[in-house]
Amino acid sequence: MRKLILLIAAGALAAVTSVAGAATLDDVRAKGHVQCGINTGLPGFAYKDEAGEWQGFDVDYCRAVAAAVFGDAGALKYTNLTGATRFEALKAGEIDVLSRNTTWTYSRDNDLKLTFVGVNYYDGQGFIVNKALGVESAHDLEGASVCIQTGTTTELNLADFFRANGMNYEPVPIENNEEARQNYLAGRCDVYTTDRSGLAATRASLENPDDHVVLPEIISKEPLGPLVRHGDDEWGDIARWTLNVLILAEEYGIDSGNVNELAEGTNNPEINRMLGTEGEFGAMLGLDQNWVVNVINAVGNYAEIFDRNIGPDTAIGLSRGVNASYLDGGILYAPPFR
Amino acid sequence: MEGRGHIVHEKAQTLPPPVMSVGIARWLKDNLFSSPSNVVLTFVVIYVLWLIVPPFLDWAIFDAVWYATSRAECWDTGDGACWAVVVTRFDQFVYGDYPVSERWRANLAFVLLFVALAPVLFDGIPWRRHLVGFSIAYPVVAYILLIGGFGLPEVETARFGGFLLTIVIGITGISASLPLGILLALGRQSDLFIIRVLCVAFIEFIRGVPLITLLFVASTLLNYFMPPGTSFNLLVRVLIMVTLFSAAYLAEVIRGGLQAMPAGQYEAAKSLGLPYWKTMRLVILPQALKISIPGIVNSFIALYKDTTLVIIIGLLDPLGIGKATLSDTTWQGLSTEVYVFVAIFFFLCCFGMSRYSAWLERRLHTGH
């Protein structure tokens, strides 16, 4: 009996250590695809198109990683994850990278032992109200009923905001955006609060968007980004630099239209390093020399991804705001590629 | 013969029965207007129906838009339901991500399902004896068709979705949990201490835990216990959990049937010298199961509807497909249409099961 227990314990230990310490890149190469965790559905960030393919801002990052590793954005499989299962799936090794509008927080980084590889969207929590209420600021919301998604950071932020301002509110707990939308439209809550990207999507889906206003206050920082497991820095670096080159490509004017032309060599050494005509940079990550070319060919640069999925010309209609490159007054900034 | 002038010779004309005692008028009088309170109730109900049904029909049928390329186009065309979302995404609702070129396999498996079910469900089928052989082989046939093998390219179970997923989980759960439930019920009544304790512990544990919890265990915890490198198929894990869950409930339903058997039945079987399994198979179970039919079908219907819980662990059942569809800004906001559509599907399935159970009860009715 004791032997059996020892055996099981050893097996469990082996399982845990191998999950934590395995060379994810080798595993990914061996199975032939990147397993990417995405949302079960969030407008602009992850949704199914008419052909049944997943599309969206978060999904494009998955494509970029697949293109970086395999040179083929199609070498990719998705696992749909809810807010409750996303971290467990990553920690248990069911997915290689999680790209599911996840806020980078202290406890998630340290307590849950996850590695955020950067921020691909600086979001913040806001409020949407019906114009007929005549509310112009979140400070006028004393006594309001608020639709709030349970189990998210937004729920805690909301409580903090109202407590700090000495106001009361009546929470109306809901599970997802769609439910919030229905409750809000039916008047069961005066206000709906979630990340402003979500509010923009909700507002766009209303029959008369102009009757509703997103209040100016932003009550929280919600830096959303992709993440990987603790314990495999090489894989974390691949995920991190896939994000960085998307941002760098925008800075240097590299996009899906001109990347192949620029990859033949330019006068700009940084571009040459990124696109593989100078130095041996791909090998440092264990990737192909032209991995950045593959990424940009597959999904374009950050601006292209943004504009295609959530930008001003889409139904979501978000402006770049703080998510503009630092060259344009935003805070997107990636370290140099050298 | 003179004095007989007062006698009428012609046969009296047969009058029709009073109008209120036959046909539709009689039915109305008996059922809707039999007493003052009944009259009031009838009018109240008619009024409520008048309030609900015409607007619903307007919304669902007369003002509805069936073909459009986006929700905005629906708004321009009509005021009613925008069924276009269901029409354009119909294939996704049915098959999920199942590859388009392989969908004939899912269709074939679905048709064969009825061929396999017919001899099990109805005893009047011609060549029933031979067809039962196919019913027993059906799980293998369905497995090969849906997943691949024998020259058919493999389709990953992660690509199963929509109604296909619901039917796979529902049918597998139902057909696997019934035998397991019977064994557990018998085990719980067994004279063998170990078997009895194991069965009681299993039933009580599973019944004491919500299905959602079991699904979470299936989706996350199990992977920690597996040896590294084995990826144990998520769908299989879910099937096992759903089956175990349903079996525990069925065991209790069937135990109710077993306990309703008079002791004389057991004693009569024993006096004939029947061993345990023959007693059960020939005497006890046929009667106990017959009593339990409503409870068993009740459990089946509950299981079938519980399959929608798999969305929590990221499997795209019809509701999951609905959510993924509604996240497309083209169709965002049409949740009513999507949910009504999915509800109709579930209603048809569950109503079918319930009708079959009613038919079976009448057919096996021997109390006359």
pLDDT in tens, B209-266: 999 888 888 877 776 676 655 667 888 889 999 999 999 999 999 999 999 999 999 9
Instruction: Please work out, in degrees rounded to the nearest 5, the angle formed at the alpha carbon of residue A277 by the alpha carbons of A274 and A282.
Output: 55
Least confident of A32-36, A253-257, B324-328: B324-328
Q: Is residue B220 part of a domain?
A: yes
3-state helix/strand/coil string of B323-346: HHHHCCCCCCCCHHHHHHHHHHHH
pLDDT number for residue B21: 79
The answer, yes or no, to whether residue A133 has pLDDT greater than 70, is yes
Q: Is residue A337 part of a domain?
A: no
pLDDT number for residue B14: 85
pLDDT digits (tens, 9 = 90+) for A174-231: 887 778 888 998 999 999 999 888 898 888 878 788 899 888 888 998 899 999 999 9
B329 reaches A (C-beta below 8 A): yes
Same-domain pairing of A153 and A201: yes
Tokens at residue B55, please? 């607007």
pLDDT digits (tens, 9 = 90+) for A269-292: 999 999 999 999 999 999 999 999
A19 reaches B (C-beta below 8 A): yes
Q: Are A168 and B320 in contact (CB under 8 A)?
A: no
Q: Which of B209, B181, B186 is nearest to B196 (CA)?
A: B186
Q: What's the number of CA atoms in the CB half-sphere (13 Å) around residue B350?
A: 17
- List the single residue in B with minimal CA-CA distance to A50: B89
Mean pLDDT on B183-212 = 93
For residue B353, what pLDDT band results from cuts at 50, 70 and 90? very high
A208 CB burial (10 A radius; 0-12, 13-18, 19+): exposed
Q: Is residue A1 part of a domain?
A: no
Q: What is the C-alpha to C-alpha distance for residues B138 and B109, in angstroms, rounded to an integer?
A: 9
Same-domain pairing of A29 and A111: yes
Same-domain pairing of B90 and B59: no
Q: Are B326 and A178 an interchain contact pair (Cβ–Cβ within 8 Å)?
A: yes
Q: Are A85 and B333 an interchain contact pair (Cβ–Cβ within 8 Å)?
A: no
* Of residues B91, B311, B333, nearest to A40 (C-beta): B311
Mean pLDDT on B299-325 = 90
pLDDT number for residue A1: 43
Same-domain pairing of B212 and B250: yes
Mean pLDDT on B275-298 = 91
Tokens at residue A19, please? 């999950």
pLDDT number for residue A54: 94
Q: Are A299 and A60 in contact (CB under 8 A)?
A: yes
Torsional class of A324: left (φ above 0), alpha (ψ -120 to 50), beta (otherwise) = beta
Tokens at residue A224, please? 């959303």
Mean pLDDT on A142-154 = 87
Q: Is residue A14 part of a domain?
A: no
Structural domain that includes position A292: 23-122+223-328
Q: What is the mean pLDDT of chain A?
A: 89
The answer, yes or no, to whether residue A80 has pLDDT greater than 70, is yes
SS3 B206: helix
pLDDT number for residue B228: 57
**Alpha-carbon distance B63 to nearest alpha carbon in chain A (angstroms):** 17
Mutation to test the A interface, candidates B89, B327, B338, most A Cβ within 10 Å? B327
Structural domain that includes position B60: 20-77
Q: Are A85 and B220 an interchain contact pair (Cβ–Cβ within 8 Å)?
A: yes
Q: Are B226 and A15 an interchain contact pair (Cβ–Cβ within 8 Å)?
A: yes
Beta strands per DSSP E along A215-284: 222-229
Q: Which residue has the higher pLDDT, B34 or A13?
A: B34
Tokens at residue A53, please? 């393919």
Q: Are A37 and A70 in contact (CB under 8 A)?
A: no
Mean pLDDT on A314-326 = 90
pLDDT number for residue B264: 92
- CB environment A193-206: b (16+ within 10 A), e (fewer): bbbbbbbbbbbbbb
pLDDT number for residue A13: 45
For residue B2, what pLDDT band results from cuts at 50, 70 and 90? low
Output the pTM of the full model: 0.84
Same-domain pairing of B93 and B34: no
Which ranges in B58-127 belong to alpha helices (H)? 71-77, 84-88, 90-95, 103-121
CATH number at residue A154: 3.40.190.10
Mutation to test the B interface, candidates A48, A149, A175, A177, most B Cβ within 10 Å? A48
DSSP string for A313-330: TSSS----GGGSBGGGTS
Interface predicted TM-score (ipTM): 0.82
**Torsion angle in degrees (nearest 10) through CA of A284, A290, A291, A297:** 160
Q: What is the mean pLDDT of chain B?
A: 89
A260 reaches B (C-beta below 8 A): no
Q: Is residue B130 part of a domain?
A: no
pLDDT number for residue A260: 94
Q: Letter for the amino acid at A239?
A: A
Mean pLDDT on B21-37 = 85
Q: Is residue B15 part of a domain?
A: no
Report for A135-144, A301-310, B63-72, B128-137: range of highest mean pLDDT:
A301-310
Tokens at residue A112, please? 């849950």
Residues 6+ apart with CB under 8 A from B56: none
pLDDT number for residue A22: 60
Same-domain pairing of A213 and A245: no
The answer, yes or no, to whether residue A17 has pLDDT greater than 70, is no
B67 reaches A (C-beta below 8 A): no
Beta strands per DSSP E along chain A: 34-39, 47-48, 54-55, 76-81, 97-103, 114-116, 121-123, 125-130, 144-149, 169-174, 191-195, 212-214, 222-229
Same-domain pairing of A230 and A113: yes
Q: Are B219 and A88 an interchain contact pair (Cβ–Cβ within 8 Å)?
A: yes
A117 CB burial (10 A radius; 0-12, 13-18, 19+): buried
SS3 B125: coil
Same-domain pairing of A86 and A142: no
**Alpha-carbon distance A245 to nearest alpha carbon in chain B (angstroms):** 28
CATH number at residue B231: 1.10.3720.10
Mutation to test the A interface, candidates B214, B329, B336, most A Cβ within 10 Å? B329
Radius of gyration of chain A (CA): 22
Q: Are B314 and A49 an interchain contact pair (Cβ–Cβ within 8 Å)?
A: no
Q: Are A92 and B223 an interchain contact pair (Cβ–Cβ within 8 Å)?
A: yes
Least confident of A108-112, A159-163, B329-333: B329-333
Q: Is residue B26 part of a domain?
A: yes
The answer, yes or no, to whether residue A151 has pLDDT greater than 80, is no
pLDDT number for residue A206: 82
| Residue given tokens 């980004």 in the structure block | A225
* Domains: count for chain A: 2
Same-domain pairing of A322 and A252: yes
Q: Which of A83, B315, B341, B147 is nearest to B306 (CA)?
A: B315
Same-domain pairing of A157 and A285: no
pLDDT digits (tens, 9 = 90+) for B53-100: 999 999 999 888 999 888 888 888 888 899 999 999 999 999 998 999
The answer, yes or no, to whether residue A19 has pLDDT greater than 60, is no
Same-domain pairing of A39 and A90: yes
Residue that is last in its domain, among A188, A220, A252? A220
H or E stretch at A298: helix A291-299
For residue A169, what pLDDT band results from cuts at 50, 70 and 90? very high
Q: Are A22 and B327 an interchain contact pair (Cβ–Cβ within 8 Å)?
A: no
The answer, yes or no, to whether residue A20 has pLDDT greater than 50, is no
Residue that is last in its domain, among A185, A220, A255? A220
The answer, yes or no, to whether residue A23 has pLDDT greater than 80, is yes
